């Protein structure tokens, strides 16, 4: 096949959702494991965190909800099920392990919601969907790690629950460029709008005061 990838996909998937009226921001799993070079989960995603913090500043300025997720397991990982069995590296998120702590620049502020999860999606087995509905949120601005795992799962579930997923490409990261780019491409084609940090911040600044 000589046709390039973008041209091929545009025949079937070439639509934009656009930003909704009531957004919330989620920062998915930005925890120490991905920033500690001594940890097997180290992913070199410092730039993604820096971008997410800039988006967070804009969200706080706009007065929209800011939500964080982390991953927490009991000591034997029994609440991690097959996921914990498949990926033993998740032992870094057993309760009390410092790899599950927030990086120094990412301390949630008072009143900002933290959701602890055991599986890739921020929605699966958590109160996130109900919380967003009570807040009358229609748009979820998604940042975090990793793009091919928890970001993709959260994006697909956001769409499945009826929320507009806006994935901020600069503010998401993965341990390798190839799965990062491939999953951004696919999410943008089928499930979400993938936007730049500049686009996300501009949207949030315009939302300020509404």
Q: Specify the residue for token string 């996909």.
A: 9
Which strand ranges, in their side-by-side order, compose the sheet holding 164-173? 113-117, 66-71, 23-28, 139-145, 164-173, 193-195
Catalytic residue among 39, 150, 155, 172: 150
Q: How far apart are CA 7 and CA 5, in angstroms?
A: 6
Q: Are strands 164-173 and 139-145 parallel, antiparallel or unpaired?
A: parallel
Q: How far apart are CA 207 and CA 210, in angstroms?
A: 6
Residue pair 95/74 in contact (Cβ under 8 Å)? The answer is yes
Residue pair 183/152 in contact (Cβ under 8 Å)? The answer is yes
103: which residues sit within 8 A by CB, 6+ positions away? 30, 31, 32, 35, 49
Q: Is 39 a catalytic residue?
A: no
Degrees to nearest 5, angle at CA 164 with 8 and 73: 105
Q: How far apart are CA 30 and CA 164, in angstroms?
A: 22
User: Which residues are catalytically annotated?
Assistant: 150
């Amino acid at each position: 096949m000589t046709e390039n990838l973008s041209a091929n996909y545009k025949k079937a998937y070439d639509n934009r959702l656009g930003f909704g009226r009531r957004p919330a921001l989620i920062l998915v799993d930005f925890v120490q494991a991905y920033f500690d070079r001594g940890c097997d989960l180290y992913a070199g995603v410092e730039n993604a965190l820096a971008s997410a913090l800039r988006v967070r500043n804009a969200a706080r300025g706009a007065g929209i909800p800011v939500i964080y997720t982390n991953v927490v397991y009991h000591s034997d990982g029994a609440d991690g099920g097959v996921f914990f069995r498949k990926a033993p590296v998740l032992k870094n998120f057993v309760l009390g392990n410092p790899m599950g702590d927030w990086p120094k620049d990412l301390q949630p502020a008072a009143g900002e919601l933290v959701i602890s999860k055991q599986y890739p999606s921020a929605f699966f087995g958590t109160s996130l969907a109900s919380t967003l509905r009570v807040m009358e949120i229609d748009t979820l601005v998604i940042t975090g790690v990793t793009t091919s795992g928890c970001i993709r799962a959260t994006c697909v579930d956001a769409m499945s629950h009826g929320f507009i997923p806006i994935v901020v490409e600069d503010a998401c990261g993965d341990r390798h460029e190839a799965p990062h780019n491939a999953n951004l491409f696919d999410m943008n084609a089928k499930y979400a709008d993938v936007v730049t940090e500049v686009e996300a911040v501009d949207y949030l600044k315009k939302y300020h005061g509404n």
